[in-house]
Amino acid sequence: MNAPFPSTPAVSDGDPRLPLKLLIAAPRGFCAGVDRAIEIVERALQKYGAPVYVRHEIVHNRYVVDSLKAKGAIFVEELDEVPDDAPVVFSAHGVPKTVPAEAERRKMLYVDATCPLVSKVHRQAERQIEKGQHILFIGHVGHPEVIGTMGQVPEGRITLVETVEDVAKLEFSPDDALSYLSQTTLSVDDTRDIIRALEERFPQIVAPKAEDICYATSNRQAAVKQIAASCDLVLVIGAPNSSNSLRLVEVADRMGTNARLIQRADEIDPSWLEGVGTVGLTAGASAPEKLVREVVDRLSDWRLVDEEVITTAEENMIFKLPRQLTE
């Protein structure tokens, strides 16, 4: 195993716990889009009073959702569960065009918390359709962001591609006007392979002006790559339905390091630490820093922890709030 980082510390005198080196990835946790979405719900509660309805989980994290529920947010799956006179927030993942259209038809008060980087993909999809192109959209079936993006364009003008194998099954010709876009929370490596397959099969395909995978997704995957080779185990804090968190687990696994997805510290099994000298720790873009510290505290109950933060990038992105909440 490679060991570019300091070795495991010696046990302190009088402390019976075994030493454990803890490499904490940075960046980790909340991204600017998640920060913005949570603040939108909190500000809507302050401005309009409880309850404020939220269509779908505002972000994929149970702790965050439960915290907002305690403040008066009510989470629903569809608009027909929301009274006409109640404010409603659309989640950070984005929604199909039919959703705000329905809200406007019902004269509902709604606030769109779609991440600006997801909105950018929506606008790109519209422009590609205006140019007469058929969109090949790289993403995971059923994910809210995929549903939202595919719902930006007329039916039949966009095709979902999940894997390199899917590319071989596409029934288009070299004469067809094609373009591609991707979900913002995908594996950087997998997406690169799919794009390469698309470009080899369809040399005429048009790429987006800028990469669709968001900076936070790329940065968190790069940080895990940096620490995984030096770890015996990597813990990823995130939800099972969080695409970016699942990708972090995959990144570590592909480097040959055992990785586990956990939502809270109480899910850690002490047996995972048997024979382990170095643990890597990161958090998906929807997981708050409080849960990182909770995991560190739990590990410290069992082992003598020596923390080191490994920083691979600095993030200072801030997204503006909707004007209706700042006026």
Q: Is 52 left (phi over 0), alpha (psi -120 to 50) or beta?
A: beta
Residue 319 CB-density burial (10 A; 0-12 exposed, 13-18 middle, 19+ buried): middle
Q: Are 111 and 322 in contact (CB under 8 A)?
A: yes
Q: What's the rounded Cα separation, in Å, for the pair 303 and 326?
A: 47
Q: Are 184 and 155 in contact (CB under 8 A)?
A: no
Q: Are 92 and 322 in contact (CB under 8 A)?
A: no
Q: Which two tokens stand for residue 308?
A: 């080191």
Catalytic residues: 145
CA separation, residue 22 to residues 19, 25, 292, 306, 308 (Å): 10, 10, 12, 6, 6
Q: Which two tokens stand for residue 209?
A: 């002006």
Q: Which two tokens stand for residue 184?
A: 């913002």
Q: What's the rounded Cα separation, in Å, for the pair 88 and 72?
A: 12
Beta bridge partners of 74: 53
The C-alpha R_g of the chain, in whole angstroms, comes to 22
Q: Which two tokens stand for residue 102?
A: 């329905």
Q: At residue 267, what are phi and psi to the nearest 5 degrees?
A: -90, -10
Going by their DSSP bridges, the two strands 134-138 and 110-112 should be labelled as unpaired
